[in-house]
Amino acid sequence: MTDSRNFEDPTADKLETQSGDPARSNNSDAPEVETEDFASMLESYGAIESLRVQVGDKVGGKIIHATADTFFVQISPTQEAFILKSELVDAHDKLSLGLGDEIEGFIYTKRGGIELRRKIGGDSIDIVMLEQAKNKQIPIEGTVTGTNKGGLEVAIGGPRGFCPISQADINFVEDAQAMVGQTYEFLIAEVKENGRNVVLNRKALLQAARKEKASTLLAELEVGQRRKVRVTRLAKFGAFADLGGIDGLIPISELSYGNVQSTEDAVKEGDDLEVEIMRIEEDPKRPGQPRIGLSLKAVLPDPFIAHADKLHEGSSFEGKVVRVQKFGAFVELFDGVQGLIHISEMSDRRIRHPRDVVTEGDTVSVRVVSFDPEQRRVGLSMRETPKDVDTSSIRIGARVKGTVERIESYGLFVSLADGGKALLPAAETGTTRGTDLLREFPIGTELELSVIAIDEQGRIKVSKTARDQEEERSVAEAYNRSQSGNGKGFGTLGDLLKIKRNK
C-alpha cells in the first residue's frame, strides 16, 4: 500500500517559516526566499485524484509491483490495491498477467489495505461476505456437488448453495448431471437462515458478461462477413447461433441448398459452423436490440454451378418428388437442385391434378426440357422421350397421318404412323372457335395432316387446316390442267372437291 508519509513535498526545500533561525535569517550572504501562497502552489501542481471506494465496488488499474504471491495494482494516482496471484490463474494454474498489465476486480475489504478479488468463495466465507457479495453483485465461486428435482447443489464454503435449474445457464439445461463436479461462478440471489442457505444464479452472471462482450462485438459485425458460430437453439423456422455474445438466426431456407423439411435434419445444438451475415437490423419486437440474419447456405458450394454441365436439355435423371402443387411437381435431382414438372408434362393423357400421377416421396424418371442457370430454373418432363422416335425423315410441309389420343382445350395430341407424337393446335383443326373438340374429333379419329413446325427438342406441330388447303390447291391445279388440254374434263371444280373430300 502507498503510504502518504512517503510522499516528498517538492516545495520543501524552497519554503522557510518565519520562526526559523534568526541568525540564518539575518545572514546577508544567504539568498532571500520569497514567500508564496501554499494553496496557489498546490493548485499549480494540479489536483491529486483519489477514488472514493466502498467494499464491493468494481475497479481497475495497472499492475505496478509483484511479490512471490501478490500483485500490487495502482487504481488511482494516490492509491494502490493488492490482489493475490491465486485469484488470476486459469484452469491449468497458469498465470498470464504480469507487470504493466491492466486488470479489474472487486474491492473485497479495506482492512489492512485495499484487497481486490475476482470473486469470493472458499472455507473462510462468512455471512458478512455473503451479504456484501449479494448487495454488490460480486461473483462467488462454487462447485456443483449434486442435483435434485429443482436444480443444482453447490458447495461455496461453509454455507450450502442452491441454484435453480432455470438459472444454471443461459440455455436450457437438458442434462444437469453433466454439471456435477464442475466449478463455476455464481451471483447470490438470496441469503437465508443467517447464511446457512444461499440461492445462487449463474444465468444472470453469464448474461451480464455476454452483454458486455456483445456491445464490442456488434460494432465489428458487417453484412457479408463470414463468422464462426455455435448453434444454441433449434426452432421450426430455423436455428439460433451464438456469434460470441450475440445470437443470430439461420432461417430454415438458409440451412442448405437442399430441401430441408426439419431444422434437426440439417444441424444440431452445439454444432460449430461457419456462416455469412445476411443482414443486421433493429429488432422491431425488442427496440434497441439487434436482429441478425445468418446463412449457412451462402458458404457452401453452389450445386447449380457444380452440376451445370449435367443439366443440359435432353438429359435424363431419376429424382425424388419433394413438393406437389396444382400446377406441377418439384423433383430433387441433386442435393440443392430441384426442377419443375409442369402438369402438361406429366402424362400423355389429360389429368386434373398432379397428384393423379405423383405424390411426395415418389421416385420418378424425368428428362430436362429447359435449363436457365441465371434464374436457377430447371424444366422437366415425364412424357415419352422424343429421342425414341426418329424424326430426321420428317420435314416441315410433309404430309402425315395421325390418330387422336388425347384432347386438351388448346388442341389435340395425335400419334403418328411412324411412332412419333405431334400437337394439333385447336386453331389448326379447321373448326370454328368454341367447337367441342371431343365431339368433333373423338379419341381414335384418324386425320390427314401437314407438318407446320419442328422445334429444337424434336416436338412436332401439325395442321389439318394446312392439309385441307393443300388438297384444295392440288385439286384446283388438276382442274386447270384438264381445262387447258384437249382431253376429256373431270366436271366442275366443285365436283372434284366433293370427290376429294369424300375419299
pLDDT: which is higher, 359 or 477: 359
For the chain, which residues make up each domain, given as ranges?
Answer: 1-118, 127-206, 221-299, 303-383
Give the pLDDT mean for 47-57.
69
List C-alpha distances in Å: 131 to 182, 195, 338.
24, 9, 64
What pLDDT does residue 82 have?
93
Q: CATH homologous superfamily of domain 127-206?
A: Nucleic acid-binding proteins (2.40.50.140)
What pLDDT does residue 6 have?
36
Give the pLDDT mean for 130-146.
85
62-66, 485-489, 493-497 — most confident range: 62-66
What pLDDT does residue 488 have?
52
**Which of 345, 347, 340, 344 lies closest to 378, judged by CA?**
340
Fold (CATH) for 303-383: OB fold (Dihydrolipoamide Acetyltransferase, E2P) (2.40.50)
pLDDT: which is higher, 226 or 86: 226
65-69, 89-93, 280-284 — most confident range: 65-69
377 and 330 in contact (C-beta within 8 Å)? no
What pLDDT does residue 267 have?
92
What pLDDT does residue 482 have?
67
Give tens-digit pLDDT for 400-457. 999 988 787 788 888 887 777 889 999 999 998 888 888 899 888 999 999 999 887 7
C-alpha cell at 206: 453469464
311 and 372 in contact (C-beta within 8 Å)? no
> Is residue 463 over pLDDT 90?
yes
What pLDDT does residue 350 have?
73
Fold (CATH) for 1-118: OB fold (Dihydrolipoamide Acetyltransferase, E2P) (2.40.50)
Which band of pLDDT confidence, cut at 50, 70 and 90, is reported for residue 468? confident
List C-alpha distances in Å: 156 to 140, 153, 236, 315.
8, 10, 40, 71
> Is residue 2 over pLDDT 50?
no
List C-alpha distances in Å: 438 to 425, 445, 447.
13, 10, 14
Average predicted confidence (pLDDT) for the chain: 80
What pLDDT does residue 244 have?
82
Give tens-digit pLDDT for 338-374. 899 998 888 877 788 999 899 998 999 998 888 887 7
pLDDT: which is higher, 96 or 82: 82
Give tens-digit pLDDT for 22-40. 333 444 454 444 445 655 6
Fold (CATH) for 221-299: OB fold (Dihydrolipoamide Acetyltransferase, E2P) (2.40.50)
What pLDDT does residue 166 have?
93
pLDDT: which is higher, 48 or 182: 182
Least confident window among 118-127, 171-180, 195-204: 118-127
What pLDDT does residue 25 have?
42
Give the pLDDT mean for 277-295.
85
Share of the chain above pLDDT 70, in %: 80
Phi, then psi, of 234 in degrees rounded to 5:
-110, 145
Give the pLDDT mean for 46-60.
71
What pLDDT does residue 77 have?
87
Which band of pLDDT confidence, cut at 50, 70 and 90, is reported for residue 138? confident
Which band of pLDDT confidence, cut at 50, 70 and 90, is reported for residue 199? very high
256 and 301 in contact (C-beta within 8 Å)? no
Give tens-digit pLDDT for 226-239. 999 999 889 999 99
Q: Can you tell me the distance from the alpha carbon of 265 to that of 254, in angstroms, rounded to the nearest whole number?
A: 13
Taking the whole predicted model, whether its pTM rises above 0.75 is answered as no
What pLDDT does residue 331 have?
93
287 burial type by CB count under 10 A (0-12 exposed, 13-18 middle, 19+ buried): exposed
pLDDT: which is higher, 129 or 372: 372
Which band of pLDDT confidence, cut at 50, 70 and 90, is reported for residue 67? very high
What pLDDT does residue 476 have?
66
Contacts with 355 (C-beta within 8 Å, 6 or more apart), sequence order: 324
Q: Can you tell me the distance from the alpha carbon of 162 to that of 200, in angstroms, rounded to the nearest whole number?
A: 6
Beta strand segments in 210-310, E? 226-235, 238-242, 247-251, 272-282, 290-295
Which band of pLDDT confidence, cut at 50, 70 and 90, is reported for residue 312? confident
What pLDDT does residue 417 have?
79
C-alpha cell at 308: 451445370
